[in-house]
Each structure stands twice: as C-alpha cells, then as structure tokens.
Structure 1
Amino acid sequence: MYVRCMSQAGATYDTSGVVASLAADDKNSAAELVEVLAHCRSITASADYRMLCAASLIFDERCEDYLIEVAERDSGERVSVDELMAAGMEHFAGRDPRAEFGPDGMERATAEVGAVLNVPAAKAREIITAGDTARYRLVFTGQALAVGRIDLAGFLLICTRTKLVVDPELVKILDTHIAQALFDRPPLSRARLGAMVDAIVAMVDPDALLRRKERAAADRDVTIRPDRFQPGASRVSASLPITDAAAIDARLTAMAASVHSGDPRTRAQRRADALTALAAGVDHLTCGCATCTGPTDTEIDVDVDAPVDPAPAVEQPAPQPIAPPVTAAQPFFHIVVNLSTVLGLDDQPGYLDGRGIIDADTMRALLADAEREFLRRDDPARAATSASTYVPSKKLQALVRAGELCCTFPGCSAPAWSVDLDHTDPFDHRDPHTGGETVRENLKPLCRFHHRVKTFDKRWRDYQSPLGEAFFQSPTGHMFLGNAYTALDIFPALGPPAKPQNHPARTTLATRRTQKRAAHLRAVERADDANPPPF
C-alpha cells in the first residue's frame, strides 16, 4: 500500500515505509520489539535535536529580517542633543523605542514555530531557547540529545537547571562535565538526572544555587483555574521555593495519615481535603470512618398512652463503640547532609528527599530544630545482629535510603524515603542464614508498584553488586542498570571505604613503576657514557 500525505506546512511525505514497518512489527517477538522501542527512542531524540536547531535557525532569520526592516525606517542617528536625550529618557522609562515597528524577531519566530508545531506561544519560546542552548551554550550536552543519550524532556530539564550559570567560561566547564556524566552512564530517571545536574552546578558555580533560591522566592505564585480535561473541577498549581513546597507537602501527607484506617477516602482524596481544611484555617482532618461519623445517642421509643409506673425500670442505652483519638499530624521530611556542612566547616550542598539539591545555608536553617541521626558505614557487630531478621533496623533502613535518591527501578523517581526496602536475594524465613540476609549489600529501595512486579512476575530478575549497583533483567533478557547515579556520588562518605594507599595491589604496581623508571634512567646514563660530547 502506498500513501502520500501533505503536511500543514505544505511538505509531502511518504508513509508507505511506516506502514510496512508496522506490519512487520506484528510478527516480531517481545525481545525484538524491545529493540524497536530503543531504536524509536534514539530516533526521536535525534529528531528532537534537529527540531530544536531548526527552531533556533528560524529565530536567527526572523531577527535578521526585523533588523533590516528597522534599519530601513530608522538608522539610529540623532541630529540633535535633544533627540538623543529624548531617546535616553524613553529607555530609562522602560519604553521600547522599537515597539512602533511591530513584533520583534522572537515574537515572529514564536508565532511561526507555534503554528508549525501546534503548540502555545510559551512552549514555542521554550523550544527556540532550547535550540539556542543546544547550538551555542551547551553544545556537548546537545550532542548527547542528538545521539539519543537523553530525551527532549531531559535536555529541557538541564536547560532549566543551568540557566542561572552566566559566566561563559563556567558554562563551558559545566557543559563538559554534564556531557561526560551523560556519556559515562546509561539513561537516568528524572530524579537522578536532576540531582546529578544540580550537583555539577554546585561544584562549578556554587553561587548559582543561591541565585536559584532568590529566583524561586521572587517567582512564587499560586494559580487556580478551571480544569480543561475534567468539567466541574478546578486545577490548583503553585510555584514555591523548594523548602516551602516540601513543608506543605509534608503537612498534607501527615494530615492525610492522621485519620483512622476505616476512613473510606483514598489517600489522594484525604490530601485534597487536608488542603481545603488548611484554607479554612483548620490544622487537622476530620475522620470519616463509621465509628467517628455514627450516631452518639440511642433513640428510645416511648408510648404516651401507657399507664405510668411509679418506679419504672430505666433501660440503659447500649454502649456505643468509642473511636480511638485521632493522632496529631506531625509533618516531617528527610535531608541528607555531610556532618562537616552542619558544623560549618564547608558549604557542600545537601539533598532534600523527593525535591533535590539544596544549598548549605538553607539546609542548616532547616536542621536548626530538626531531629538528627548520624550515620556511619556498616558496624560489623550490628550488621551481624540484624542480618537474621526480616525487618531491617532503623539505622540500616536510614543508611540504605540515604545512599539512594529514589526507587532503584530504571526510570522511576519515587522518593527513597517513601518506598519499600526490597531484599535482592529473597529472605529465607525458615533459615535466615541460608537465604538473602538483611544487610546493606542485599537491600535496595523499590516503590510498591515495581516491588510487586519484581516479586510476583518471576521472569523479572534483579542483581546487586558489592558496590550497590542494582541491575534488572527483563522478561526478554535485556539488562538495565537502575541506579547509575546515587547519593553516594554526592556523599562519598556513605559508600564503601576506599582502598588504603598501602593496599598490596597498589604497592605492587608502584614498585614496578619505580623499577622501570630506574632501569630507564640507567639505560640513558649508559648511552650518555658511551657517547660523550661532542657525540
């Protein structure tokens, strides 16, 4: 079958090859279709890179057109001092002297790109800006998009998180570090990619974190508008500083968890009701279980025509079940930080669970009145004691979660402190010493969804290396590394201890290098003795 179509822009394209590929996919196995998915992801990323560059080139051309039109009508020359002063006053007043010439190059390109891609003006501007970034600002990182190492959403995330680095020399260094990190690792989830980019920004330009903090405070806003996709509902969105958002999120979660287990509402519904309660000035959520909402008094029917007994027997009402008191909502969130930063010895950034990297000053302010837990690498005695129990100790749980950023399944970004801890080798309840022990090397965070998939679908297999790398083998036999970037890259002190400098392997190699160098110097000395000047 041959199909020839015309796009909205007037270009024609042949769909016969696509139709043939779709027909062939019906006969492919699951393993072959996985390769098709990977190929499509790579091709899509390359096409997105070309789309960004094309949008940026359109912007360049429209800017040139605009400048030519302006030059034809206004050369910029002023014949008198009064005209020059008037132009300066217009500038200081914030009025654009070129407004009379109509839309500028960006506005023209935005309209054109938006029409072709059928996207709003804001999205079109984002694409144009990202194209400029890929061509001139983050060139090496843009190449990672071009060859499919990251997707368009990942590149836009990098553009957003690096835009406050303004020094051109620092931008070049930043671009190099990000590109190297991307090419050294398999694709990362959004949470891991964001943390990695933020950590590199903090290393290259620490002041950028402070500028981001100021920008977030200045841009805070809350909008409430009708939901376009669900009639009768409204959508609430807010742009808040990271710590304020974490505090609100923790408060809603705590209020949603404070009711009894018999409450008929889902967790999402309880969080929505908690937000409404906070707006009404109430700091707690009313429980909706049958015990809390049932009648409190027993009704007794009385016959008014019956003779009155001088000493009637009073029937006591049946006792009503008393619901236990609703626990108070205690909001909390988790922060991982080096002790040296808390003590003020350095300004290394910290990690706010589910949110990302935060600067040292903000972190120390949050930790001023917080409950602190000091973690060290595994204590052998404590590890031996907890290895035979199914539930990890609180210290071990904290150590495992602090060493990760999110769920270790490929592509998942569920926060590490709100997911399950999974035994890579299943725990043997009958004989714990023969099965998977409860030790750090055998535990990893997994969200409930991926934990259930891994547990009940036996075709999924997972492996954990001594360095904590979590590998997952799919039913088709494809292998994925789920945690290519972890909190250990940000906080090396939480990882396994480095080999000592006097390790036998290092000593052996150092000795060999010393011997080879000495032999080379002796050979040079013998050659000089055999050929004295003038040679």
Structure 2
Amino acid sequence: MIESTAAADQPEQPDLPARSRLPEELEELPAGLELAQLVAGFDRRALSEPDRVRLLRARQRLVCHLQAELMADLCAVTWEDEPEPDGSGRYAWAEAEIACALRWSTMAAGRRLAQAREIIEEFPAVGAALSRGWIDLPRALVITELVEPLPDRQLAASVVDSILERAGEWTTGQLRARLRRTLIAADPEWAGRRAAAAIRGRRVELHNNEDGSGELWGRSLPPRDVAMVWERLSAIAQAAKSAGDGRTFDQLRADAMVDLLAGEGVAVGGAVGRHTGGLSVPDGDPGSLTSRRTSPDPEASAAAGRPSPASEPAVPADTVVPGDTVVPGDTAVSGSGSGGAGGSGAAALPGPRRGVVELQVPLTTLLSLSESPGELRGFGPVVADIARQVAAEQLRGSWRYSVLNELGEVVCHGPVRARPTAAGSAAVTPAATARRPSAGVAAFVRARNPTCVAPGCRRPARGCDLDHTVDWAEGGASTADNLGPLCRRHHRFKHEGGAEIIQPTPGVFGWTTPRGMQYVTTPEPVLDPAPETAPPPAAIPPPRAAIPPPIRDADPP
C-alpha cells in the first residue's frame, strides 16, 4: 500500500479573492509572471460576458508564452551534445534524454525537438512572437514548416518578418495560404523546381485501416488536376443530391470516384453506385431527406458555388443566394441504379465534360513579364508556369478582368468583352433599387471580398449568400457598398444569433458579437502590394478597433 503524499508536499496556496471585474490594462500587459498572477482567482460566473472573452484571450497569451519557454527548455538539453555526423541535424542523445524525462517515444521527442530548434534557434523572430503571445504554437509551426525548406536563409528570415506582423490576425488556414503565396513570389525559381520535383514523384497509395476499411490516396498530383477532379466529383454529388439521393455529399463523392476508376455506375452513364463492400451501411435518416434536398452540404456547396448547409436549413429573409453555374454539357439527366434515396433508384449525373477550374492570375504573369503566382480557387496559390499552362487551356472559358489599386484591392471588375465600368459605385441607380443586385455588382462584390466577411472564415464567396448590410426592407440599396458575402452559418449568426454588422467603407466590415466584442475584417489584396506602396502598420485596423454603433437588419419573418 503506497500512500500519496502529494497533498502534503504542496506548498500552501494563498487565498485569492474572487474578483469579478478584469482590469482595463489586461490587453497591454506582457505575457509572463505578472499576467499569470493577474488572471488567477477570478470567479468566471461573476464576470460579464465581454470580460469572459477577454480572460480567455489573456490566458491564451499566457499559454503561448509558456509553450515558447518549453521550446527553449527542449533546445537547452542539446547544449552539451554534438549533432549527428550524418548531417540530419538530430541530437540522438538529447532525444533519448527528453524521451525518458517526459515519457515520450523517441520519435515524438525527436520531432518535437526539431520543431523547437526551428522556432527558437533557426527563426528566433517566431520564438519571440510566440513568447509575447502574438501567435500561438499552431501558427508558429505553420510558419516554420513552410519557410524552413527555403534554401536562402536570409530570404527566409525576411519572409518570416513580413508575415509575422499580421500572422496573429489570420487562422492557420489563412496564414498557410498567404505564406505559400509569399514564398512563391519571393523565389519563383525555387518554388517551380520544388513543385516539378514533387509532381515527378506523383503516385497512388493504398492503406488498410484497422477498422476494416481502406484508403486510396493520390499523392503529389498537379494542382490543376486536383482542382478539376474535386470539382467534377462535387458536381456529380450535387446532381445526385438534387435528384433526391439520400447519401451525404462525402459518400456520393467517394462512390463517384470508385465508379469512375472502376468503370461502373457513373462511368458508363448510370447512377452513382453504392459502394459498401456488401455490408449493410446506413446512410442516414430517410426522414431528413426533404431538408437534405433543399439544403446541401456546406463543403460541397462551397466547392460547387451553391448555398449551404444541410444542418442549417433556415434562410434569412434578407438573402441573395448565388445561382448555379451553368457549364456547357452539364445537364442533369436521370439514370437507374442503386444510388437513389431509400432504394428508389432515382439518380442524376452531369453530362460528360471535363472538370472545371477557376483561375485568378495577374496579367503580367500571363504575358511572362513577372513570375507572380496565380490562384486556383479551391486549391490555393500555384507557381507562374502552372498558372500560364492552365490559362492556355481555357480556350472556351469565360474571362473576367479585375482592376486593382496600388494596395492590391479590387476597384473594378467585369467580363473582358465589356468596357470597364465602376461596378463598385455606391450611387443608387434604378437597378440598385431592386432587391437582387445586378450580375455585374454581384460579381464585383465576390471579387472584392473573395471569402465570407466574418472574422477568420474562409468559405469562398461563390458559395455564400450576398447579404445587405442595411436591410433592403429598411432602405438599403443593392449596391456594392451595401453588400457582402456571408456563408450560411454567419448569415444566421447575424440574423438569429444577435451579431451586428456595419460596412463603414466598401469591403470593410465591422462586427459586434452578442457578447459585445468588436472586430474589423478587411478584404485581402488580390495581389500583394509593392513594398513602397504597402500601408504602414498603423494603417491596418487592429482586431479590437472601435467601430460606430451598428445598424441591424429587420428580423426575418
């Protein structure tokens, strides 16, 4: 019998008064011991709702500081050791020591030590930002993971410095996309060689899972092919869903992929096959089929440019939803087979066609005057050579131009066959008095704000609702300065969840959450501005910038 003496060994803790109000200087206090003492001893239930959010953010900064200290502690274990002579940069005995001390596997200890050395020693600016609580550990790992392969260490350090200024304002997904684009622009030749080398190693991998299922992965494929395949699978799933198929979008995409590879079902003009390996696999509650028919899956909706999502069928009254994109030969046709909902045999599939890609590329890149990266919607940044190749293949595609100002912001947008017009004009014209904006205004708004305008949301604008900032029923015009894309979740957050939105200048949105917190979202530049025209740090609105009192839309009926 072993008695625990842990309680006896612990020093007596002083009784801290249960405080119910956070100090005003909390946000300015550096992460460290003083902050740790300040956030201790609060009665969370006694705090106001805004103070609970402020306490959450303060403690997150403190956690980031402690994680930076832990990374520095890991690096300190290597000080007396020599790295392995094979050039791998590993410290074998330090890894063994860490594994013993923390009861980690040797592999886990080596991986974490390598991450710590990158954050603390190779890119000290990242470690400093983590220690101050400007970024968290996931963001620090994204930065070091993407920048570390860049061979020019001085250039890598400058890329890190350029990205750290706003890294804390972006989600890890936003940070990864921005950093990939920055790296391609910083060294286009290196990025091109790296992409070509990876594509040469393209392959398909087969994996057996412990649960009895299997996985089939396409690795290191060309970006264009990935975007086309995903769009094609999503279009097949959308067509089957619209015809009443009861399977989820994920199931339909997976079954369509097997059909196309195995030469069955969709591949021979039939319905999407049901690939369950002979097992009885329920595909959901048939009773919810009606809601599924009218409310597609959010991920597929974003990919296909349609409203979403299945779990949120309610549509706010003040909604302009995007229409389906019509592609030549993409007519849904009926078929027969086992894909229908409830075994009815009803199914549909798009007509034979290639997958569709959406490319955004600077004119200078198309003319080979620069090596600025392009952007494949739904995939991310691509090197200039890939962008030019994809553009050269779009002989029958529709083209639109975007005119940018010196900050890389869209100021004009339209089809290339038309003369440029200020589609973003705030003037109220007869067309602006209609509830639905014109096609030109809608296209301009989605080009200006390519994603949902909620803080941190990356839902593509083509799959979002166009929301009137000032409700149309309250006199709000259908012009670009009163419209913004909102995904269905954040649209409902505004109308049903109590969030309030204003648009002080076109494309800039001020949010006030139900708990009284305020945030500002600005459109990301389509192209990074030149260094000499980039706005100074003070010109970038902080996340908690004060904004005027919001104007609420009328409640949905």
Alignment of 1:340-359 (within 5 A): 340-359=364-383
Q: CA deviation at 1:217?
A: 2.0
One-letter amino acid matched to 1:327: P
Who wins on radius of gyration, i.e. which is larger?
Answer: 1
- Cα distance in 1 for residues equivalent to 2:496 and 2:55: 26
Asked if residue 410 in structure 1 is aligned to residue 449 in structure 2, the reply is no
**Matches of 2:506 and 2:371 in 1, distance apart?**
27
Residue 350 (structure 2) pairs with residue 327 (structure 1)? yes
Q: 1:152 to 1:115 in 2, by over 3 A?
A: farther
Structure 2 residue 484 is matched with structure 1 residue 471: no
Shift of 1:31: 1.9
Map residues 361-372 of structure 1 onto 2, 5 A cutoff: 361-370=385-394, 371-372=397-398
Query: Which residue number corresponds to residue 258 of structure 1?
Result: 239
CA contact (8 A) 2:243 2:346 kept: no
1:55 maps to a residue whose letter is: L
> How many pairs were matched up?
416
- Matched letter for residue 355 of structure 1: F
2:12 & 2:106 partners in 1: Cα distance?
Answer: 30
Aligned to 2:123: 138
User: Does the aligned pair in 2 maintain the 1:220–1:238 contact within 8 Å?
Assistant: yes
In the TM superposition, residue 104 of structure 1 has moved relative to its aligned partner by: 9.0
C-alpha separation between the residues in 1 aligned to 2:487 and 2:11? 44
Contact 1:422 1:446 (8 Å CA) reproduced: yes
In structure 2, distance between residues paired with 1:14 and 1:278: 68
- Please tell me the residue identity of whatever aligns with 2:237: A
Q: Are the counterparts in 2 of residues 5 and 13 from structure 1 also a CA contact under 8 Å?
A: no
Residues 448 and 507, structure 2, Cα contact 8 Å, conserved in 1: no
Show the counterpart of 1:277.
Answer: 259
Check 1:349–1:281 CA distance in 2 against 1; reply closer, same or farther (3 A cut). same
Tell me the TM-score normalized by structure 2. 0.64
- In the alignment, which residue of structure 1 is the partner of 2:528? 490
CA offset at residue 369 of structure 1? 2.1
CA distance in 1, matches of 2:80, 2:443: 55
Contact residue 95 and residue 106 of structure 2 kept, 8 A: yes
Moved more, 34-43 or 444-453: 444-453
For the residues of structure 2 that align with 1:191 and 1:439, how far apart are their CA atoms?
Answer: 30
Deviates more, 1:49-58 or 1:361-370: 49-58
Structure 2 CA distance for partners of 1:258 and 1:169, relative to 1, 3 Å = same
Q: Following the alignment from structure 2 to structure 1, what is the Cα–Cα distance between the partners of residues 520 and 424?
A: 30
- Residue in 2 that maps onto 1:481: 520
Mapped to 2, the partners of 1:365 and 1:109 lie a distance apart of: 48
SS in 1 for 2:127: helix
Using the TM superposition, give the Cα deviation of residue 254 of structure 1 relative to its aligned residue in structure 2, in angstroms.
1.7
Give the RMSD, CA atoms, in angstroms: 4.0
Determine the structure 2 residue equivalent to 1:514. none
| CA displacement, residues 147-183 of structure 1 (integer Å, 9 cap, x when unaligned) | 222221111111122123211322232232223344x
Distance across 2 between alignment mates of 1:399 and 1:440: 7
1:275, distance to aligned residue in structure 2 (A) = 2.2
Work out which of the residue numbers 467, 476, 485 in structure 2 matches 1:422. 467
Once residues 274 and 261 of structure 1 are traced to their aligned partners in structure 2, the CA distance between those partners, rounded to angstroms, is 15
Structure 2 CA distance for aligned equivalents of residues 345 and 30 of structure 1: 54
Equivalent residue, structure 2, for 1:445: 485
Name the CA distance, whole Å, in 2 between partners of 1:435 and 1:157. Answer: 45
| Residues 252-310 of structure 1, C-alpha deviations (whole Å, 9 max, x = no match) | 21221222431111212211212222331345471589986599xxxxxxxxxxxxxxx
**Residue of structure 2 equivalent to 1:29:** 48
Counterpart residue type for residue 220 of structure 2: L
Give the TM-score of the pair, scaled to structure 1.
0.66
- 2:434 aligns with 389
Question: Is the Cα–Cα contact under 8 Å of residues 244 and 346 in structure 2 kept in the other structure?
Answer: no
> Which of 137, 142, 156 is the matching residue for 1:171?
156
Give the unaligned 5+ runs of structure 1: 68-95, 296-320, 429-433, 493-535
Corresponding letter in the other structure for 1:399: F
Note the alpha carbon deviations across 1:341-391, whole angstroms, 9 max, x for none.
223232211222232221111011111122142234163479645423333
Given the alignment, which residue of 333, 356, 373 partners 2:399?
373
Alignment of 1:42-121 (within 5 A): 42-63=61-82, 105-113=90-98
Distance 1:51 1:218, change over 3 A: farther
C-alpha separation between the residues in 2 aligned to 1:403 and 1:266?
32
Show the 5 A alignment for 1:211-226: 211-218=193-200, 220-226=202-208
Do the aligned partners of residues 294 and 364 (structure 1) sit closer, same or farther apart at CA in structure 2, a change above 3 Å counting? closer
Among 229, 240, 248, the residue aligned to 2:220: 240
What's 1:198 paired with? 180
- Matched-pair contact (CA < 8 Å) for 1:4–1:15: no
1:15 deviation in Å? 9.1
Please tell me whether the aligned partners of residues 337 and 345 of structure 2 are also in contact (alpha carbons under 8 angstroms). no
Report if the CA contact (8 A) 1:209-1:358 is conserved. no
| 1:441 counterpart letter in structure 2 | D
Contact 2:466 2:486 in 1 (8 A): yes
> Is the CA contact 1:59–1:106 (under 8 Å) kept in the aligned structure 2?
yes
CA distance, structure 2, for counterparts of residue 200 and residue 208 of structure 1: 13
Deviation digits for residues 411-452 of structure 1 (CA, Å, limit 9, x no counterpart): 223233333333222222xxxxx6222222223232222222
Q: Out of 153, 157, 171, which is 2:142 matched to? A: 157
Greater helix share, 1 or 2?
1
Structure 2 gap segments, 5+ residues each: 19-39, 274-285, 290-333, 339-343, 403-411, 414-420, 531-557
1:258 and 1:329 in contact (8 A); partners too: no
Identity of aligned residues (%): 25
1:405: how far off?
A: 4.7
Secondary structure of 1:368's aligned partner: helix
Contact 1:164/1:211 (8 A) holds in 2 = no
- 3-state SS of paired residue (2:505): coil
Q: Where does 1:288-307 land on structure 2 (aligned, <5 Å)?
A: none
Contact 2:374 2:381 in 1 (8 A): yes
Q: Does residue 113 of structure 2 align to residue 128 of structure 1?
A: yes
Q: How far, CA to CA, are the matches of 2:230 and 2:16 in structure 1?
A: 46
> By how many angstroms is 1:335 displaced?
1.9
**1:123–1:220 distance in 2 versus 1, CA, 3 Å:** farther
Task: Give secondary structure in 2 for the equivalent of 1:481.
Answer: strand
| Contact 2:454-2:486 within 8 A present in 1 as well | yes
Give me the whole-angstrom Cα distance separating, in 1, the residues matched to 2:528 and 2:93.
44
Q: Distance in 1 between matches of 2:59 and 2:200?
A: 40
Deviations 1:4-57 (A, max 9, x none): 869xxxx98999999985872233332221112111221222222222222233
Distance 1:121 1:256, change over 3 A: farther
Deviation of 1:127 after TM superposition, in Å, equals 2.8
Question: 1:224-274: per-residue Cα shift (whole Å, max 9, x none)?
Answer: 44556xx34445555434333323322221221222431111212211212
C-alpha displacement of 1:187: 1.6
> In the aligned structure 1, how far is the partner of 2:423 from the partner of 2:154?
50
